[in-house]
Amino acid sequence: MKTLLVPTHRAGWPFIAIFAVVATIMNILSGGLGLVGVVLTLWCIYFFRDPDRVTPDRDGLVISPADGVVQLIDQAAPPEELEMGDAKRWRVCVFMNVFNVHVNRVPISGTLAKLSYRPGKFLNASLDKASEFNERQSLALTLPDGRDIAFVQIAGLVARRILCDVREGQSVETGERFGMIRFGSRVDVYLPDGVEPMVSVGQTSIGGETVIADSSL
User: pLDDT digit string (tens) for 81-121?
Assistant: 999 999 999 999 999 988 899 899 999 999 999 999 998 77
CA atoms within 13 A on the CB side of 122: 10
- On the question of pLDDT at 209 being above 50, the answer is yes
103 plus 39 within the same structural domain = no
CB-CB contact of 130 with 157 (8 Å)? no
39 plus 66 within the same structural domain = no
43 plus 89 within the same structural domain = no
201 plus 98 within the same structural domain = yes
**Residue 160 resides in a domain:** yes
User: What does the alpha-carbon distance between residue 182 and residue 160 come to, in Å, rounded to a whole number?
Assistant: 7
pTM: 0.85
38 plus 76 within the same structural domain = no
Tell me which residues are annotated as active site: 185
**Residue 3 resides in a domain:** no
Residue 25 sits in which domain range?
10-47
pLDDT in tens, 22-60: 888 888 887 778 888 888 888 778 778 899 999 999 999
- Look up the CATH number of the domain holding residue 197: 2.70.70
User: What does the alpha-carbon distance between residue 89 and residue 79 come to, in Å, rounded to a whole number?
Assistant: 12
- On the question of pLDDT at 2 being above 60, the answer is no
- On the question of pLDDT at 123 being above 70, the answer is no
